Structures are given as structure tokens and as C-alpha cells.
Amino acid sequence: MEQQPTPAPAGGVDTAVETIFRIESPRIIAGVARIVRDVGIAEELAQDALVAALEQWPRDGVPDNPGAWLMATAKHRAIDLVRRRERYARKLEEVGRDLSLSAPHHLDEPADPDDIDDDLLRLVFTACHPVLSAEARIALTLRLLGGLTTSEIARAFLVPEATIAQRIVRAKRTLATKGVAFEVPYGPEREARLGSVLEVIYLVFNEGYAATAGDDLLRPALCEDALRLARVLAELMPKEPEVHGLAALLELQESRAAARTGPAGEPVLLKDQQRRRWNRMLIRRGFTALGRANAVATGSPGPYALQAAIAACHAQAYTYEDTDWRQIATLYGLLAARTPSPVVELNRAVAVSMADGPGPALEIVDALAGEPALRDYHLLPSVRGDLLARLGRKQEARAEFERAAALARNERERELLAARARELRGS
């Protein structure tokens, strides 16, 4: 006799439902969007599936495959919605010429030798349509693909939460009113959207690699989705050097994941990481992707390839002391020239501090003090505190670490920064 799921206390199930939904929601939205051809409606139907789970799972127990349950529930509701539209005499073309209401297995797109059947990738390209502003494209995709809350996206953009909420609502409305197709485009149109797509994948990975808020430093599901999308995109666009550059960067960054946290989930700084725990397979994949980027490049390397080259410098060093910091500082200089950014300059300062000492680096950091984009960025006082500590200016360093801890929204980072401040107390 088949074993039935065991009902569980409502509170525990509610937490489980919300956790599972956060992980699975991008796939659910993408799968449903392929049916209804509207990302806004797809997100609403995904939320309906969440509500159904919150109602049924405490009573019936959590299913063996909760992600599949949520997907099936959302798709059934999507098909019901399409059928209702038909009953109201809406034209079949409204939801795609290939949608057969009597045979749901016909929902797949026609095969094309230059296309790839990946709903998540379709969702990214749809959300990165040029009818949207660059800010709206990124905010919408982080919401739909990354499962980020509006407050988390606002933190990433350093803008008010209400601004992000408005961008997302307007973006979904624009895609619907313009009738944007849910597809991976071809030719010049694909190339025109590529920059936004790469940026979105990069930001989703970064949120997984160092979560802006919450109790955990890492959100592995986001890293996995971003890395998988980068790999898919590299196969889809083999002649684009920056696609391979991004793939290389993510492979190399992800290779350190197991060593970046301790037994209790606490952050482990790069200099303290056990490099034998770095994933050698991912490092090899990263070097292969970087080689492909260099092989197809026709000019100077782009920003993702440059960042991948920096990550490669770390990956090929057997110890922290073996790191070629001068080369890293040079690469950050090239990156700053290619894409000027106060965050890039802050990272360059760290490399300069290792190559030339904390004094020259502190000059770079102090020059960034007035940057509006870094006003509430906790890593600015964190880096400055480290430099001051190395210069023997302990009390100033402690004040910087305390300020950094106050600004940090991730609990793990806040604990680390507060601990560093305590270590300097009384020094």
C-alpha cells in the first residue's frame, strides 16, 4: 500500500512552503508564462499555487516532490484560464498558435536549430525586451527569475523600495500591452538584448553568492540557476566572448562555495579559506570558458572576461600568499577604465593594498568617501577598517568596522564585522 504524506504542524509546513516556493518560483513562473504568454499573469498564478499549498499541505502533508506539485497546480490553473478565454470568444492567436486546448502536450514551441527549449532562458530574454528601460529589465528579472523581494532589489540598486515596486508593476504592464512574445529571439534582436541578459544573470548570481539580507550568507539555488543559464547561453551563442567570459567568472566564483562558510554558516574570509575545498572541476570549467572567451575575442577583453581573469588569478594560487596581487591590481585598473565604477575602484584598492601596502590603498579608499553610491555600502567602511588596522590605527579601524556592521543587512556579515570591531576594542 502506498504510504501517504503525514500531516505536520501548520507553522512548520508554512515555513517549508515559503522556502520551497522561493526556490521553485522562477521555474513555475517561466513554465506558466509559456502557456499564458504574460509574465504578470504567470506570477499571479504561481502565487495562487502558493496559496493552495498553504491551504492543503498542513492538512494533507508535504508532497514527495513539492516543486512538481506547485508547478502542476499553477499550470492547471493556467490552462483553465486559457479555456475560459476561449469560452469568451478570444482568438486562439492571443495565447500562441501552437497552444492546443484539447491536447496540452502540444504546448511546446516549434523546434528550431538555433533555439533552445529552456523556459527560464525565455523568461530572461522576455524580461530584457527593449520596450523596457534597462532598470526595469533588471528589476523585473531579478523579481521573476531570482525570486528576490522588492526590498532586496532596492538594496542592490540603492534606491527606495517603492521605486522598485513601481518599476516592476510598470514593466509587467508594458510587456502585456505591447504583446511581447515569450521567446528567445534570433539574430540582431538577440544580440541587442544580450547585454541586459548577461547583467541580469550576473546580478542573480551575486545575490546568491553574497545575499544582501537575511540569515544566510549564501543562497545556493540562485547561484545554480545563474550558472546553468550562463552555460546554456554559452552553448546558444558560442561566438560571443562576453558570454564565455561570464560563464568563466561564475564557474570560478562558484568553485569556492564550499570553503566560504564555516560549520555554523559563518563567513570565512578568502585568506582563511581551505583551498583544498575549492572545487577543481569548476575551476577547470572556468579556465576552459575563459580560454573560449579569449579565442573568439576580436578586441580588448570585456568586463566579464576581465573579472574572470581576476578570478583565475585566485584560482591558480595554491595559497593566499602565492596570489599575484600585482596582476590582479592591473586587471582591476583595466576593468575600471572599461567600466568605471566606485565598487570596481574599491576592489582595486584591496588588490593595491596587497601589492603595494595599505598606505597607497587608503588614499584610493578615502577618495571614494564622497561617492553617493557608496554612502550606505557596508564594504566601504569594512575595507577602510582593514587598511587602518594594518597601519596600526586600531581605534579608527574599530569605528569603521562598527559602522560597517551597522550598515550590513546580512546577519552573517554583520556578525563578522562586529566581531572584528570587538577584537580591536582596547587595542
Question: How confident is the model over 21-54, as pLDDT tens digits?
Answer: 877 888 888 888 888 888 888 888 988 888 888 8
Q: Does residue 238 register a pLDDT over 60?
A: yes
**Cβ(122)–Cβ(233) below 8 Å:** no
Residues in the chain: 427
Task: Identify the band that residue 270 occupies on the pLDDT scale cut at 50, 70 and 90.
Answer: very high
Higher model confidence: residue 116 or residue 151? 151
Q: Does residue 240 register a pLDDT over 60?
A: yes
Model-wide pTM > 0.85: no
- The pLDDT mean for the chain works out to 85
Q: Does residue 8 register a pLDDT over 80?
A: no
In this prediction, residue 403 carries a pLDDT of: 97
C-alpha cell at position 188: 540582431
pLDDT in tens, 59-115: 888 888 888 899 999 999 888 888 877 665 444 455 455 444 443 443 333 334 344
Residue % of the chain over a pLDDT of 90: 47
Mean pLDDT, residues 322-344 taken together: 96
In this prediction, residue 157 carries a pLDDT of: 66
In this prediction, residue 124 carries a pLDDT of: 84
Q: Which of 6-20, 95-109, 169-183, 323-337 has the highest mean pLDDT?
A: 323-337
Name every residue whose Cβ is closer than 8 Å to that of residue 223 and which is 6 or more positions away in sequence: 205, 208, 209, 250, 254, 257
Mean pLDDT, residues 187-211 taken together: 85
Between the alpha carbon of residue 169 and those of residues 161, 165, 208, 393, the distances in Å are 13, 6, 24, 49
**CA trace torsion 150, 155, 161, 164 (10° rounding):** -60
In this prediction, residue 427 carries a pLDDT of: 59
Nearest alpha-carbon partner for 227 in 245, 254, 207: 254
| Region of 132 on the Ramachandran plot (φ > 0 left; ψ -120 to 50 alpha; else beta) | beta
Mean pLDDT, residues 321-333 taken together: 97
Element (H, E) at 254: helix 241-254
Residue % of the chain over a pLDDT of 70: 87
Q: Does residue 387 register a pLDDT over 60?
A: yes
**What is 259-279 written as a DSSP string?**
GSB-TTS-B--GGG--GGGS-
Higher model confidence: residue 185 or residue 391? 391
Q: Which of 36-45, 110-119, 147-156, 214-223 has the highest mean pLDDT?
A: 36-45
Q: Does residue 20 register a pLDDT over 70?
A: yes
